[in-house]
Amino acid sequence: MIVRIDIDKAGDSFGYRVSYESEEMYADDGLDSIVECLVAAVEGMPPEAVAAELWYDGVVSGTYPLSVIGMSIEQVAQHASNTTAMIDDVMPDR
């Protein structure tokens, strides 16, 4: 099973939604960072989940095995942030 993690920023806080085949499984808001969202999202995953497609602010940054997210969470969060920033640079009105 490959789930989808959507992370959004609202003001000074972040929220995430975890879904599978367009059905929301669980979510939370009011977290302090993308990393906190990833930690919470991965902790709640069912055992059959092996990977996650990661979206930040409506931009997909990649699909990662859960083991990669767990071992490199800071880098995965930074990659999501950088990817969204690059898209914002070329599409400022999105």
Measured in Å, how far apart are the chain's first and last C-alpha atoms? 30
Q: How far apart are CA 23 and CA 28, in angstroms?
A: 15
For the segment 41-64, what is each residue's pLDDT rounded down to a tens digit? 999 999 999 999 999 999 999 999
What residue ranges define each of the domains in the chain, with the CATH number in brackets? 2-90 (3.30.420)
pTM: 0.94
Residue with the two structure tokens 């940054």: 61
Q: Is the per-residue pLDDT at 32 higher than 90? A: yes
Computed over every residue of the chain, the mean pLDDT equals: 96
Over residues 70-89, the pLDDT tens digits come to: 999 999 999 999 999 999 99
